[in-house]
Amino acid sequence: MEVLIFQKEAFEEMTAKFCRFSDRVDELLAKQGGKSLNEWMDNQEVCQQLNISPRTLQTLRDNGTLAYSQINHKVFYRPEDVLRIVKPVERKQADKAV
């Protein structure tokens, strides 16, 4: 374990810069129509929407059918990307049923 000691002024300056950065990100999101991570879907939501298994979802990611973003170990999908593949997924499911 490593312990770091900051001068109070340096810490306050770093905190102020982070707050300005956070404010700037909020401004940029507002300019983009208020989009935020709250509008993104996670694995469970996509599986429910498409009525597919987690493994099928993994295959859609692996073969490039469905775009995604990953933050740490959590995967997110834009709703518009999920809607774009609804019909192809439904067609594949119908083909398997025949």
pLDDT at 68 over 80: yes
Average pLDDT over all residues of the chain: 87
Which tens digit of pLDDT belongs to each residue from 21-50? 888 887 877 776 655 556 889 999 999 999
What share of the chain in percent tops pLDDT 70?
Answer: 92
Q: Residue 33's pLDDT is what?
A: 64
What confidence category does residue 55 fall into, taking pLDDT thresholds of 50, 70 and 90? very high
Please give the structure tokens belonging to residue 14: 């770093």
One-character DSSP codes across the chain: -------HHHHHHHHHHHHHHHHHHHHHHHHTTS--GGGSB-HHHHHHHHT--HHHHHHHHHTTSS--EEETTEEEB-HHHHHHTHHHHHHHHHHHH-
Does the model's pTM come out above 0.75? no
Range with the poorest average pLDDT among 17-21, 33-37, 62-66, 85-89: 33-37
